[in-house]
Chains A and B, each alone.
Chain A
Amino acid sequence: MANVSRNKHIESVDYHAIEAMESFNKFVKKKNTFLFSITAGFLILYILLPILAFQPVLQQKVFGNITGVWIYSAGLFIMTIVLCTVYVKKASSFDKAAAAVLAEYHAKGGK
């Protein structure tokens, strides 16, 4: 089963030429800023759960006997689904940016 479909037939790539391109560095910087700021954000919201869970604020009843910890946890579930969807959307724009970088590289005569 080695005949996996491939869309990138590049015999030999000059990685350093690509790495030196301004468009490449701009794209990577933008992407990493996005990835790491969101990651830092959800990790903080997440680790607040076991911290706040022992405080009165999340131990209060909200709906009937449903306490704040359950609501906060449900919030983290929803956050996960939302951020997953956001990532998939955003990643297709990164795919385009990466493709544009490669197209530019080829146009410059890199094979």
Chain B
Amino acid sequence: MNLVSVGFFLAIVSLTLVVTYIAAKRTSSAADFYTAGGGLKGWQNGFAIAGDYLSAAAFLGVSGAIALTGFDGFFFSVGYVVANLVLLYVIAEPMRNLGRYTLADMLTSRFNEKRIRGVAASGTIIIVILYMIAQLVGAGALIKLLFGIEYWIAVLIVGVMMTTYVLFGGMTATSWVQIIKASLLLFGTGLLATLVLAKFDFSLIKMFDTVAVEHGEEFLVPGMKYTSTIDSVSMMMALVLGTSGLPHILMRFFTVKDAKTARSSISWTTWITAIFFSLTIFLGFGALNFVGLDKILAESKAGNTAAPLLAHYLGGDVLMAFIGAVAFATILAVVSGLVLTGASAISHDIYGEIIKGGKLTEKQQVVAARTGSISIAIVSIILALFAQNLNVSFLVSFAFCIGASANLPVILYTIYWKKFNSTGAITAMVTGLVSCLVLGAMGPNVWSPVEGAAIFVGNPIVPLAVPAVITIPLGFIAGYLGSVLSSNKVPQEEADRIYKEIRVKANTGVSVSDVSH
């Protein structure tokens, strides 16, 4: 580890700690802790949501995937960008109008039952832990590569940092760490992309020509990674619909004061992500051209260090250290958001609302939130330490799959479907969650006949890497059938009365002021 790396590394750490210190002074109530008091501006929340999208998997993973597999890697970029529209058109505003701190809050605004809250919170915790293991294991490996620190020390550093931000600064600190990281990342990728483009005389055609001539035309069409239409359709469905079901993204809509600000948040996010993901082409093809396949593969089989290696080629040690530090900030920011979301499900949903019946004082709620944060952090760190030698990057796509299959159907039905009922909500969430986990566990990410390629050796029973094409329809059908088949057991008049309220609240924003206390 050289001096420049250490400098950038320390700069990031101290900047985020200063932010946390300032945020800590403003964090006294549960609303401050979970939602920054609902006081973020549209652009701030927009950058923070973009920060959630642009995880290390997106920055390092996508540019590496484009370098190694050409267009197949770019599928991800398209998925992440279009996903914004689903959030903007059908989720963001009603979510803001109906919810308070968590996804479960929004669902229980219509079905005030503990079992609904319990299932929704469990789904959130499972998604958070899967996502977190993937991030922490990736982080450990990356930091080991960039800074030469042992894996377990790297995981502990990230673990301690994320816990510090959340514990003291709550959502305010988490949001600002995201904003700082998203800005740095945008700047860093912009710089790399410009330098790459300059090497090709600012001609896209020249860049593609070079790739075709020197590396082969197969990089310019799909087929290097995805060989079947159904596999790529399934993955693309998980990406575009799963984003709207990821609890750490949904939670961000409660950090703004009203639907209008939620709308402008996503509008900012759309622009930021569209710019960022366009640039991944230059990072990917730049790395392919200037670093070369052999060297990328030698460092990491998944191509995760393609972007830092490209930075080294373009700007030497200094630029590489800067990009490494940005990647580090990216990891810290995303895992902090996950800790906070996990804590909201454990401390607010399960402990505060289910066990204590919503009768905690403000002070007790904050204590519970902090205890929850520490618990989820410790569990994740331990799991990540055990998972060191497993290839777990696919867990992120599992998280998207669960978001799309278990959460999205319930969210949409709750807002838009009159005949939806609590039994339907339970069947939809349980079916979506279980089918993702079961089909996923039988799939090629877990089973491979080649030793070392997956967790177990053997033939996968389900050929799909991401089973979304089966599980999303299952989630929707289960919610429909559950509601229709149990309709005679629900007092219809009462259900209608509540749905009318939901409809007015979701569409006019009346009463947002009441729930944001």
Contact = CB atoms under 8 A, between A and B. Distances in A.
- Tell whether A pairs with B: yes
A13 B235 CA distance: 44
A65 B218 CA distance: 11
B403 to A, nearest CB: 16
A87 B236 contact: no
B236 A50 contact: yes
A107 interface: no
Interface string B317-360: 00000000000000000000000000000000000000000000
Contact of A59 (B39, B86, B221, B507): B221
Given A32-B416, A49-B236, A65-B209, A70 B267 contact: no
Contact of A98 (B211, B267, B497, B509): B509
B78 A15 contact: no
A77 B78 contact: yes
Contacts of B501: 15-16, 19
Given A1-B32, A49-B78, A66 B220 contact: yes
Contacts, number: 176
A39 B507 contact: no
Interface string B210-243: 0110000100111100101100110111001000
Nearest to B206: A64
A38 B232 CA distance: 23
B90 A84 contact: no
Interface in A34-71: 35-36, 38-39, 42-43, 46-47, 49-51, 53-54, 58-59, 63-67, 69-70
Question: Interface residues of B: mostly helix, strand, loop or mixed?
Answer: helix
Contacts of A91: 93, 260, 263
B508 interface: yes
A1 B26 contact: yes
B205 A80 contact: no
B497 A88 contact: no
Given A65-B217, A66-B205, A1 B36 contact: yes
Interface centre among A9, A38, A51, A69 (most CB of B within 10 A): A69
B507 A53 contact: no
A27 B507 contact: yes
Question: Interface residues of A: mostly helix, strand, loop or mixed?
Answer: helix
Given A67-B220, A84-B267, A15 B500 contact: yes
Contacts of A8: 509-513
B29 interface: yes
Nearest to A81: B274
A67 B512 CA distance: 49
Nearest to A56: B221
B88 interface: yes
Given A4-B516, A9-B513, A43 B240 contact: yes
B212 A65 contact: yes
Contacts of A43: 86, 240
Interface size class of B (residues with CB under 8 A): 35 or more
B264 A88 contact: yes
Interface residues of A, number: 55
B481 interface: no
A73 B74 contact: yes
Interface string B63-87: 0000000010011011001101110
B169 to A, nearest CB: 13
Interface in B60-116: 71, 74-75, 77-78, 81-82, 84-86, 88-90, 93
Contacts of B123: none
A63 B220 CA distance: 12
B82 A46 contact: yes
A39 B221 contact: no
A8 B232 CA distance: 46
Given A13-B511, A51-B233, A24 B504 contact: yes
Contact of A4 (B37, B93, B509): B37
Contact of B222 (A28, A54, A83): A54
Contact of A88 (B81, B263, B513): B263
Nearest to A50: B232
Contacts of B86: 39, 43
Nearest to A1: B37
Contact of B504 (A5, A18, A64): A18
Contact of A84 (B71, B88, B217, B232): B88
A69 B36 CA distance: 42
Contacts of B223: 54
B85 A80 contact: yes
Contacts of A15: 500-501, 504-505, 510
A81 B507 contact: no
Nearest to A39: B89
A12 B362 CA distance: 24
B84 to A, nearest CB: 6
Interface in B27-42: 29, 31-32, 36-39
Given A73-B74, A84-B84, 11 more contacts: A1-B29, A8-B509, A19-B501, A24-B507, A36-B90, A39-B90, A42-B82, A43-B86, A59-B221, A80-B274, A83-B85
16 contacts: A1-B26, A1-B32, A6-B513, A16-B497, A18-B508, A39-B86, A43-B86, A53-B222, A58-B221, A64-B206, A65-B205, A70-B220, A80-B85, A83-B89, A87-B85, A88-B263
Cβ-closest 6 pairs across A and B: A1-B37, A64-B205, A50-B232, A19-B500, A65-B212, A6-B513
